[in-house]
Amino acid sequence: MDIFSKCYKGIDLLKQARELDVYPYFHALESRQDVEVMMEGKRRIMLGSNNYLGLTANPDVIQAGIDALKKYGTGCSGSRFLNGTLRLHQQLERELAEFLRKEDVVTFSTGFQSNLGIISAIVGRGDYVICDRENHASIYDACRLSYGTMLRFKHADMQDLERQLQKVPDNAGILIVTDGVFSMGGDIANLPEITRLARNYGARVMVDDAHGLGVLGEGGRGTASYFQLENEVDIYMGTFSKSLASLGGYMAASHEVCDYVRHVSRPFIFSASITPCSCATALEALHQLISHPELVDHLRYISSYFRNKLTERGIKIRMSETPIIPIYTYETIETLSIAKQLYNEGVYVNSSLPPATAPHECLLRTSLMATHTEPLIDEATEIIYKVLKVNGICK
């Protein structure tokens, strides 16, 4: 059998979506990522970005990237391990560690690679890694890359987490890994109970805070800060591609754990370092977050404002305390069709389909930025209401 046969056959849903002209992917931006964008020749209100603090368009962040490009050139052409470490990388790690109140930080070239690099280094043969079923795909791939045994617990089900912990041999190391803020539903992990169980069973805790940094906690420090459990979480993982408006990822932990990962993690050792421009923009975005905690406050306010506007219109949403606000649209093709209609009307949202959702519980994933305004949200809400009403999703 030709190994390419699956490629020629294609994926049934994608073929159907293309035939119905509701294919939702790879729409091309023609402007910077912002609350309003030019996309394929038309103005769209952006409700599908992870640019939570709106810093991709911040003049100081942009200038920091330009300055780094001029000083350091376009790339480092090597790994951090060998010739690819800049003073800028070390400064970013030092200042991020101080902000997160951890001893040390290791930076990776992407957020996806961060999870691969951390988990595959920490979880060895004979160890166990226990994951929430709705964790990000990079966590699942990281568990496969490790030599440990992966166990999964039902999403947010602490009784099931304890059942999984009880399966682990007494002499095995245990790492519990959870998203801090779950990227599809916008819900927050039950860190108080997770850390309590970890203490009881001798486990360590790692939180993927990609969608928590800049969103939750004191000054945007993330999910552990939100629960005042910073000393109970052993490893934070996060990204620069969301609130920090750049590209890359990080691990925050103790000096010993970070040093171990630096010298053992294959995805870290054998990858080129973050480009000077990406490093500088992430660092300046961190400075903006530290200097302007009101960005986090406004993000919280405008997210609540949008949730209230939707519920006032009778639109069924999945409730959350975060900028991720999913709207129920139920069926797969119907969801793709509604997303296309919204796109044509000037609102960009993301479609969330099985297996990311349960069958018949498809969602439109909307997400807010600190730079959204009330008039812009009012305009988007009216368009969403009009399209959903035409499709019989609300009255």
Residues labelled as active-site residues: 183, 211, 242
Quickly count: other Cβ atoms within 10 Å of residue 15's Cβ: 12
- Reading phi first (left if > 0) and then psi (alpha if -120 to 50, else beta), residue 385 is in alpha
Closest C-alpha among 224, 117, 245 to residue 181: 224
**142-146, long-range: CB within 8 Å, 24+ apart, which pairs?**
142/115, 142/116, 142/117, 142/118, 143/119, 143/177, 145/116, 145/119, 145/120, 146/119, 146/120, 146/122
Instruction: Copy the structure tokens of residue 351.
Output: 């479609």
Quickly count: other Cβ atoms within 10 Å of residue 390's Cβ: 11
Find out whether 203 and 165 touch, Cβ atoms under 8 Å: yes
The DSSP-derived string for 204-265 is EEEEE-TTTTTTSSGGG--HHHHTT-TTT--EEEEESSSTT-SS-EEEEE-HHHHHHHHHH-
Find out whether 164 and 187 touch, Cβ atoms under 8 Å: no
Beta strands 204-208; 249-253: pairing state = unpaired
Residue in the block written with tokens 């992870």: 50
Instruction: Copy the structure tokens of residue 319.
Output: 């409730």
Find out whether 47 and 55 touch, Cβ atoms under 8 Å: no
Backbone angles phi, psi at 183, to 5 degrees: -70, -25
Find out whether 174 and 146 touch, Cβ atoms under 8 Å: no
Residue in the block written with tokens 């990522």: 33
